[in-house]
Amino acid sequence: MAYKEILKNSLKSYEDLEKWLTSQKARVDPRLRDVIAKYPMRINTYYLSLIEKVNDGIWKQAVPDVLELEHFMDLTEDPLDEEGDIPLGGPRTIIHRYPDRVLLFVSIECAMYCRFCTRKRKVGDEHKHPSADEINKGIEYIATHDDIRDVLISGGDPLLLGSKKLDDILGRLRQIKHLDLIRIGSRVPCVWPQKIYEDKEFIEMLKKHTPKSLKEPQLFINTHFNHPNEITEQSYQAVKCLRDLGIPIGNQTVLLKGVNDDTDVMRELMHGLGRMGIKPYYLYYADLVEGTGHFRTEVYKGKEICRDLCGATTGFLRPTFVIDAQGGRGKIPVDLGYSDGISEDRKGGTFTSAIGLGKVYVNDPIERVEGKPVRYNPNRK
């Protein structure tokens, strides 16, 4: 199967990387051997083919950098304290931060190891791969907590598990009556789309788990595109296969220096997602992860980009800019600064037009007047 070859022929070792960098006439730094020993590399041949030039937005996401060995202030292995949200004495496959939803960790493997990954501490590490028993215990935990209504199946990438295993997990989750949503977090539509449109067994398996009535939980896919050059004919085909099954698809993007910290790049990405039928929902401020300091931008950058997009592009293609706060404090939406706040009498407030038409006072409730009101028109004397 061609899609398997794409993964099989990935760059994985220092020698693979050295040979490839030499072919690109790029500098080979021997310290890259240490980078790969610390943080695994996998660049599959499809994602590699998206690179147009040294250090472009695709290169930076995939190709190891010696800066990953540098220490930056405040960066830690697990800044979101995910390990702290594993229930005490409970299964290691559950991260339970919010009362009504959990993350089910099913795989350490990905179709590409993104250099900026929040779970850099465990992706690609064979020793941290969850066993079938640990995954079963995670599902039992969800089944016995009826306040959980939403499960995010994550990793690593759940689509690297193989259809049989994923079928088993989805089948068992679907039996849990208190679940409204089952979400699969996967970068495969972006980094290895052939897996989706060539693997017929996989598509048949997913089809079985799409709901046929309101009584069954909705299956969502959360994917992850960061750069317009990831929007390709292949990724479109993959997304189309999923949409043809009736699966809603949302996208999260991470704000990354040198990749997408630019309004024009971000706008092109959001428009591309729109063409693919994907709803962008979050733009994440990059987490404070050890080994990713060189990707970080100032917070204002994300705010500036989102303000630029406001009024300048389709509303539902604008992601919410959020900071996933350190220590497991959850996702905080960043105020874009269009509101001066609600007035003291709580009836209205002053807001700034996102298309540059000044400030406006919005008042509610309105008052009843005698006769037909004449609308104020500033252009008519």
Enumerate the active-site residues: 97-98, 101, 110, 114, 117, 119, 287, 324, 331
Determine the angle formed by the axes of helices 263-276 and 299-309, rounding to 10 degrees: 60
Contacting ligand SF4 (CB under 6 A), which of 17, 102, 106, 117?
A: 117
Q: Cβ 42 to ligand SF4, closest distance in Å?
A: 9
Nearer to ligand SF4, 105 or 321 (CB): 105
User: Which residues have a Cβ under 8 Å from the Cβ of 143 and sit 6 or more positions away?
Assistant: 175, 176
Shortest Cβ 251–ligand SF4 spacing (Å)? 13
Task: Please list the residues that pair with 333 across neighbouring strands.
Answer: 322
> What residues does 321 pair with on adjacent strands?
283
**List 47, 105, 113, 202, residue binding ligand SF4 (CB under 6 A):** 113
Helix, strand, or coil here: 132?
helix
Which residue has tokens 């990831």?
230
Rg over CA atoms, the chain: 23
> Please, are residues 260 and 272 in contact by the beta-carbon 8 Å criterion?
no
Q: x/- string (CB under 6 A) for ligand SF4, residues 144-163?
A: -----------xxx------
Least CB distance from residue 122 to ligand SF4, whole Å?
Answer: 9
Of 74-82, 110-118, 244-252, 321-329, which part binds ligand SF4 (CB under 6 A)? 110-118
Size of the site for ligand SF4 (CB under 6 A): 10
The answer to whether residues 127 and 79 touch, using CB atoms and an 8 Å cutoff, is: no
Determine the Cα angle at 236 with ends 43 and 115, to 5°: 25
Burial of 116 per CB tally in 10 Å (0-12, 13-18, 19+): buried
Smallest distance, ligand SF4 to C-beta of residue 124, A: 8
Residue pair 115/39 in contact by the 8 Å Cβ criterion:
yes
Q: Which stretch binds ligand SF4 (CB under 6 A): 117-125, 174-182, 208-216, 279-287?
A: 117-125
- x/- site string to ligand SF4, residues 57 to 96, per CB under 6 A? ----------------------------------------
DSSP code, position 293:
G
User: Using N-to-C axis directions, what is the helix angle for 233-244 and 263-276, rounded to 10°?
Assistant: 40
Regarding 309 and contact with ligand SF4 (CB under 6 A), the answer is no
- The correct pick among 6, 7, 41, 110 for binding ligand SF4 (CB under 6 A) is 110
- Cα 37 to Cα 125, 214, 305: the distances in Å are 11, 48, 36
Among residues 60, 101, 119, 122, which is the contact residue for ligand SF4, using CB under 6 A? 119
Q: How far is the CB of 156 from ligand SF4 (least distance, A)?
A: 6
- The residue within the footprint of ligand SF4, chosen from 7, 32, 114, 289 (CB under 6 A), is 114
Lookup: tokens for 144: 């016995």
Please name the amino acid found at residue 319: P
Strand, helix or coil for residue 134: helix
Nearer to ligand SF4, 107 or 297 (CB): 107
User: Where in 160-199 is the site for ligand SF4 (CB under 6 A)?
Assistant: 187
* Minimum gap (Å) between residue 289 Cβ and ligand SF4: 10
**123 lies in the binding site for ligand SF4 (CB under 6 A):** yes
Residues that bind ligand SF4 (CB under 6 A): 110, 113-114, 117, 119, 123, 155-157, 187
